A and B are shown apart, each in its own frame.
Chain A
Amino acid sequence: MGTKDRYERLREQATTSERDSSPHTLLAVVSLAISLLLLAPLVWVFLRAGEIEFGRAVELLTSDTTVSVTLNTLALVTGVTVASILIGVPLAILTAQTDLPFKRFWTITSALPLVVPSYIGAFAFVSAFGPRGVLADLLSPLGIEQIPTIYGLHGAILVLTLFTYPYVFLTTRASLLSFDGTVVEAARTLNHTRWEAFRRVTLPQIAPGIAAGALLVALYTLSDFGTPAIMQYDVFTRMIYNEFGARRLDYASVLSMLLLVMALGILAVESRLSAGRDGAYVSSGSRRPGLIRLGYWKAPALLFCGAIASLCLVLPVGILLQWLLRSGTGYSGGGFTFDAAYAWNSVGLAAAAAAICVVAALPIAYLSARGSSGFSSLPERATYVGYAVPGVVLGLALVYLGLRYVPFLYQSVILLVFAYVIRFLPQAVGTTESSILQVDPSYIEAARSLGYHPLSAFRKVVLPLVAPGIAAGAALVFLTTMKELPATLMLRPTGFETFVTYIWLVQGAGYYGQAAVPALVLVGLSGLSMLVILRREDTS
């Protein structure tokens, strides 16, 4: 429990000296202003829902369809979250704490699936495992005519898990790397078995890290549209989209409200699980535990890592290459010529979103990490709500509000980037906050005792130390922005196409061959930003 004590001590020091000081008040005001600005568009959902008669609202909320879609959504979120933990945590332990061969390689392949947009993953799985897919073609000469369908709940859980578990992997691995390994050794000297030591010492320490990753997975699943749609599984996002298509905005807004309530529920569960989460992030210096020797388990462990990497990376890339090669006559899409400008548009948007997120995340993360009251983490929690809002709902809200209140911004890059910031800021806040927690507050004390203004103390002392965390946050925002589809479709300026809008259009028209190259380039570019995220570990 050494970490905890040490942390409490530091926190005590920090809070006694910084409490009520004006920088914190200023910080609180700035953070609150940012979170209010980000949440403002969601007011639209309530405005629209408020136009419905009470009786009609009750009828909509209690209809069979609403109930069954709610249950479907809960089943999907639970399934994906649990499965992501079951894959992400063992991978994190294997790559962080064991003598697994080629650890660096497996670390990269375990994190990399995050760069594959889940809708491309879903198409790849349907191509591979769907009726008359690659697998069916391989098996039919063996006399196997029927394979279990990929469509439905299990297919949606499979695909979403494979492309979101890296969130759990990354956060768990970060906690594993930062927690005090000597505690485990102490437990072992007290005659605990390895499993007991893990359960009683390691697990409580890394639980907040797991919970943080699980939260991102759960909220992503809640907001994802493409995968459930392709897997033909009815969830809120798909219904909201259909209702919008049918121009029934009242029902769409009621469903959106329900979805927001579910997001708040997930946030509440997560904050209970991670009540002591701050402790997990505190750096313990270099006291790493001794490596766990895998022994006979080496082969199964390698097999596990290899199987996951094959499903998440080899399979989708293989299917994309197949699309490319199969694109003969009839597949060469008319009118859809790829223009290099689309790539620059994507990169420019993603870079702008990343830059703004980093700047906006700093005060919020700093307040949450160093603030003294329970109130100080409120802006941080608030930003997660935006992350849970499906792009369709956010797009609608911004179309509506943009047209009425800021028409000069409608269909402008500014409004589009604003949407990205609402959706992806929490990713930057999370990584920034965990880096700030790893900086000993007494450094600031020292700087201030040397006569520095708090802001310049922050700039000179804290900023260089948290820079890798900020870079990782920027990279995460960059790659999720590159992948974002629905808000991009709805809010982009006319004539302004990006990688994903192009891929979406050509695959929608059945021209898979045309989609292959941009999809591969998209995955490659996003992969580069993933290297930034992993590089952070080298410096920590």
Chain B
Amino acid sequence: MTGRNATQSRRRFLALSGTTATAAIAGCSGILSGGDGGDGGSDGGTGAGTGQLSLSDFRGSGPLVAQRDAPGGTSIEELPDLSGELTLYLGGGEGGLYLDLIELFEQLYPDFSANHRLEASSDLANTIIEENEAGASPADVFMSIDAGSLGAVANAGATASLPEEALSTVPDAYQDSEGRWVGIAGRARAIPYNTNQISESDIPSTVQEFPETAALENSMGWAPSYGAFQSFVTAMRLIRGDDETMSWLQAMQDHGISTYADEFRVSNACADGELTAGFANHYYTLRVQSARESSPIGLAFTEGDAGALVNVSGLEIIDGTDNADLAANFVRHVLSAEAQEFFATRTFAYPMIPGVAPVGDLPRIDDLNPPDINLSELADVAGTVDLLRDAGVL
């Protein structure tokens, strides 16, 4: 794929993304909107099959993506070329989607290749810490799907500094206060629900009210062994303390709740009518909607509490890397307009730079009402696992 047309395709891409950037700067949003559909005249080349890249290669397709404005922010065209080999530890699960982005970079830059290791984020964090304690980690960059594991690696002193150009584009709430890691995509806690069984207005606006909601008795699901759920409980401990969190966990169990292996299954169970509602990250519902268009699944958000936590996928550069410059440039690429558009439209995540909007009719990240906590503190998973176990949940 990176073969003979690489140079040509890069030139082609640059021309196009140049147009994109110009359009964005000029405020003429709409010129390039829906780049994957319509008459195809603006982005051309999509059907040629020659590996040419355009915005639509970064952008997903489907009903949720239609009629989008062109992304704003720093275009890839304005960044130095990626060149060299990068060893990337990549948090597993839907982190696999990120491989598509890395493949796009590899297509765009023939001199660039990423050697990646895919496992669960918490496992990789532990591996990096273990490697760091023993001397050095083979990893150059850790790309994780939650801030907790990023924080754990940072707290273990295993990170190197990030480029200021990257940090300055992301709101403070979604990066480490000491600049040791930076968010690349937002993941909001949400309540998927079955629209045939309950209406949005009947869903409580705080998680604290769930155990007292009769309509949800014996009809909810969660995935307590799933990292994102544990981050949510960690957030509740930070906000309300261990005792109240324990009472809530017990009340939810008394209320009747089913356990699932992960939150994609929870969300599917809501669409199936097996559950009335559940606890899950927001994008699983969008994935279900995208795959099964007429399925009766809706998405609600709580406000101001742990249930409204916005966690991030993020990046950090690993201490001792021989590829510091390449790693820094890679981070800037992941925060480019095109890559952020990728996260928004392909993974349904919240983009981290202000120039790119979330997909479909998701509320803007500023309209969500997340709790005021330091995401690095989500690293205290151990206490949460204890609590979940004492509560009989795990």
Contact = CB atoms under 8 A, between A and B. Distances in A.
Interface size grouping (class) on chain B: 35 or more
Contact of A495 (B115, B261, B384, B389): B115
**B interface, over-half SS:** helix
Nearest to B284: A510
Interface string A326-346: 001111011110000000000
B198 interface: no
B187 interface: no
B207 interface: no
A411 B262 CA distance: 29
A206 B190 CA distance: 59
Most buried by A among B92, B133, B152: B92
A131 interface: yes
Interface stretch (A240-248, A301-309, A445-453, A457-465): A240-248
A65 interface: yes
Nearest to B273: A132
A509 B126 contact: no
Contacts of B123: 244-245, 489-490
B222 to A, nearest CB: 12
A509 B92 contact: yes
Contacts of B382: 246-248
Nearest to B389: A65
B287 A509 contact: no
A234 B385 CA distance: 14
Contacts of A359: none
B374 to A, nearest CB: 19
Interface string B281-302: 0000001101110000000000
Interface in A497-527: 497, 501, 505-506, 508-511
A59 to B, nearest CB: 13
B134 A407 contact: yes
Interface stretch (A1-9, A314-322, A398-406): A398-406
Nearest to A399: B130
Contacts of A151: 259
Nearest to B97: A334
B7 interface: no
Interface residues of A, number: 42
Interface stretch (B25-33, B177-185, B264-272): B264-272
Interface in A223-249: 229-230, 232, 234, 242-248
A229 B93 CA distance: 16
B98 interface: yes
A330 B127 contact: no
A255 to B, nearest CB: 12
A494 B291 contact: no
A335 B98 contact: yes
A374 B269 CA distance: 58
A334 B104 CA distance: 12
Interface of B: 62, 87, 89, 92-94, 96-100, 102-103, 115-120, 122-123, 126-127, 129-131, 133-135, 138-139, 152, 225, 258-259, 261-262, 264-265, 269, 272, 274, 287-288, 290-292, 346, 381-382, 384-386, 389-390, 394
Interface of A: 65, 131-132, 151, 229-230, 232, 234, 242-248, 328-331, 333-336, 399-400, 403-404, 407, 410-411, 489-490, 494-495, 497, 501, 505-506, 508-511
Given A132-B272, A230-B261, A490-B119, 18 more contacts: A65-B390, A248-B382, A329-B291, A333-B97, A334-B99, A335-B96, A335-B99, A336-B96, A399-B130, A407-B134, A411-B138, A494-B89, A494-B115, A495-B117, A501-B118, A510-B94, A510-B262, A511-B96
16 contacts: A132-B272, A132-B274, A243-B385, A246-B385, A247-B382, A329-B291, A335-B96, A335-B98, A335-B99, A400-B134, A489-B119, A489-B123, A490-B123, A495-B116, A509-B93, A509-B264
